[in-house]
Amino acid sequence: EADIYQTPRYLVIGTGKKITLECSQTMGHDKMYWYQQDPGMELHLIHYSYGVNSTEKGDLSSESTVSRIRTEHFPLTLESARPSHTSQYLCASSEIGHISFGQGTRLTVV
Amino acid sequence: GQQLNQSPQSMFIQEGEDVSMNCTSSSIFNTWLWYKQDPGEGPVLLIALYKAGELTSNGRLTAQFGITRKDSFLNISASIPSDVGIYFCAGLSSHSGGGADGLTFGKGTHLIIQP
């Protein structure tokens, strides 16, 4: 099982603020992902990376951006948070055959 | 892109009952994965299936990879209160359409257990 750490677990922030959600994994996995999920709803892929300096947009359009400067680190940034960004954000990484998730960040924009 | 039809959407059952849920698709998958998500947490992998026809158990959970490679089911026997949560299936194909190694998730089955 991969060790994936997301911080913060919960974040309440005002409209217009810039935020960065942190995600780190200790397994040396090349492939990492960000999913967005409203409570009790399906998972939507918003970003993924196949390695350092590789980032791609996922199936669901998102105003967030990501970077992959180090293998273990895949942060997600919102330049100007809005109430519509309120959701849970799940980071994941994969080894051959399956994907493992972090505990998620529950973001609320007020 | 590829789609998975997961059913049922929700289940209300009595403690001790057996549970069955499934995922179907018009596409072929090389791997089927089943996850459980507790409220406020990330999904946790329950069972991974890598071969058509494979039947795998994990405690009270049993999952099968359909022979056609287009479906999978998950059974939970003798349900207990801690089984409550959302169960997601995921299919992994060799096609990369949509990104993330062709990994496609179902929309989830909400399991609610009445004492």
Residue B100 has pLDDT above 80, yes or no: no
Residue A13 C-alpha, separation from nearest chain B C-alpha, in angstroms? 18
> For chain B, what is the mean pLDDT?
91
Tell me the sheet residues that pair with B34: B47, B89
Q: Which of A62, A98, A105 has the most B C-beta neighbours within 10 Å, making it the best mutation to test the interface with B? A: A98
CA–CA separation, A60 and A54 (whole Å): 18
Residue A17 C-alpha from the chain's centroid = 18
The answer to whether residues B83 and B17 touch, using CB atoms and an 8 Å cutoff, is no
Task: Mention every residue, 6+ apart, whose C-beta is less than 8 A from residue A94.
Answer: A2, A29, A31, A32, A33, A100, B101, B103
Q: B43: which chain A residues are within 8 Å (Cβ-Cβ)?
A: 43, 90, 101
Residue B65 has pLDDT above 70, yes or no: yes
A25 touches chain B (CB under 8 A): no
A94 and B98 within 8 Å at the Cβ level: the answer is no
Residue A27 C-alpha, separation from nearest chain B C-alpha, in angstroms? 16
What confidence score (pLDDT) does residue A51 get?
93
A57 and B99 within 8 Å at the Cβ level: the answer is yes
Q: Which of B7, B9, B15, B6 is nearest to B76 (CA)?
A: B15
A59 touches chain B (CB under 8 A): yes
**Residues A102, A75, A97: CA angle, nearest 5 degrees:** 45
The answer to whether residues B73 and B19 touch, using CB atoms and an 8 Å cutoff, is no
Using pLDDT thresholds of 50, 70 and 90, give the confidence band for residue B97: very low
Count of pairs with CB atoms under 8 A, one residue in A, one in B? 64
Token code pair at residue B65:
């990879």
Task: Mention every residue, 6+ apart, whose C-beta is less than 8 A from residue B11.
Answer: B19, B21, B109, B110, B111, B112
Instruction: List, for residues A51-97, the tens digit of each pLDDT value.
Output: 999 999 998 888 999 999 999 999 999 999 999 999 999 999 987 77
Q: What mean pLDDT comes out for the span B96-104?
A: 59
Instruction: List, for residues A15-31, the tens digit of each pLDDT value.
Output: 999 999 999 999 899 99
Token code pair at residue A100:
């493992």
Residue A32 corresponds to which amino acid?
Answer: M
Instruction: List, for residues B3-41, the tens digit of each pLDDT value.
Output: 899 999 999 999 999 999 999 999 999 999 999 999 889
pLDDT above 90 as % of chain B: 80
